[in-house]
Chains A and B, each alone.
Chain A
């Protein structure tokens, strides 16, 4: 048995799984807890990746850069840029129906991909940015993958605990109340818009961080890597399957779906090469069908929602109907 190969693959699996988990945790804050429709996850992920790459690399004539900042700085700036983007897109759209946010986020993700592809002076366009520094490479040498996997998992846990703290605070309860029944939350005097914006921005920050971690892991990014399937849809399926409204669910879903996605890749790789794109398509059909089945059979996901909603909200809803009477 090729143990080193298996271990190597296992680390790779954990790293990617962890990166996706962070993205899923971010989406959970936006959708799971607050009910915000972000179908542009890939956009925030992309911004995080590119920002971190640009910020940490040395000078390179093919793209904007030369800041040579340390890794941590890169990751945080990646998150910050994504958060800023979320702020910009949230301000016009959060006061409106959820569907409008959905289409706006699709738009923003597509526009970002266009910008990154076309503004070559900034991002080297389709050629992508390579040579993204791997932090502490010399320190860990051969065991680097172990280090990076541990780093990502640590980051994931940090994000998880930060979110758990946040969601159990009064701030978090308001978010849940907003998702349950916005009208009631508004009536109770909460500035719904501000809370939604905060949730959107926070979730985006985490997606940006995930993107940055991704960039430093693979060392080379190009617009192709942020194709919506991988960067957006997989994350949504992960959250829906794992359990929206549940941070543990987000992480569980991430690893489970990643396992299925990678697993099917093995099967596809075993097929004759002419099958290539068709096998890829079939894998996606499978994931899509998994999503549909989940929605039909168990929309709350494997773990379901955390039991968190204030009893106040439930009692309120019992009272409301009398107002509808004439």
Chain B
């Protein structure tokens, strides 16, 4: 049984549908990337899975439970956490306080989880009392991911984790994603930087115009000519 199984998902905003029946699955222990052109619906897909955007059709099953229609507050309690693309930290709060907010619904585990996060992201330990808003983009991304990991999720949703980052930081972030995965967290990731994302992914989905176009292992997609032409130019 897959950790996450999305079938025939329909979702959108106002009168317009963005997703027209998308399938996706994440097996336990995997890193899965979703790539595709702008406007393909990748962000909407992630938001729909996490309950930020209502699903208009289809099913989302997580750990065997149908979570279609649940909101973020409930999904977070079931072991899925989400890192938005923008505005993903609390700028006026310190790094430590950001993590504390991540652990808000499980305050007893805060101290210990924070230590674990500092192990994983040593740079955060150095800057634990620094206001998150005053940190660089890459450092903020670390804070954002650490915040999401405070609840020990089984599945981590990452929306364009390398967006706006320098190549050095982008590489660092993706390294961290791999490390997080090795610790047992499954990852579903949207990325513009398709090549880098696929390089660390077990499997990938190509989404265009709100529908599945292609899916295969990360390696296979990297070698795929069509994919290469369309998305891996950069």
> Which residues of A line the B interface, CB within 8 A?
317-322, 324-326
Contact = CB atoms under 8 A, between A and B. Distances in A.
A325 B85 contact: no
26 contacts: A317-B14, A318-B14, A318-B15, A318-B16, A319-B16, A321-B12, A321-B13, A321-B14, A321-B16, A321-B18, A322-B16, A322-B18, A322-B39, A324-B13, A325-B18, A325-B38, A325-B40, A325-B41, A325-B43, A325-B44, A326-B38, A326-B39, A326-B42, A326-B85, A326-B159, A326-B160
A168 B13 CA distance: 32
A324 B18 CA distance: 11
A109 to B, nearest CB: 36
* Main SS class of interface, A: helix
Contact of A326 (B13, B15, B16, B43): B43
B182 to A, nearest CB: 28
A318 to B, nearest CB: 5
A320 to B, nearest CB: 8
Given A318-B16, A325-B44, 11 more contacts: A318-B15, A319-B16, A321-B12, A321-B18, A322-B16, A322-B18, A324-B13, A325-B39, A325-B41, A325-B43, A326-B190
Nearest to A321: B13
A326 B161 CA distance: 13
Nearest to B40: A325
A321 B47 CA distance: 14
B89 to A, nearest CB: 19
A318 B18 CA distance: 12
A322 B39 CA distance: 7
| Residue of A317, A322, A325, A326 contacting most chain B CB atoms (<10 Å) | A326
A323 to B, nearest CB: 9
Contacts of B43: 325-326
Contacts of B159: 326
A59 B219 CA distance: 96
Interface string B41-55: 111100000000000
Contacts of B38: 325-326
Contacts of A321: 12-14, 16, 18
Contacts of B12: 321
A10 B68 CA distance: 62
Contacts of B13: 321, 324
A320 B43 CA distance: 16
A193 to B, nearest CB: 28
A325 B13 CA distance: 10
A324 B159 CA distance: 14
A218 B13 CA distance: 56
B99 to A, nearest CB: 26
Contacts of B85: 326
Contacts of B39: 322, 325-326
Interface in B69-106: 85
Nearest to A318: B15
A317 to B, nearest CB: 7
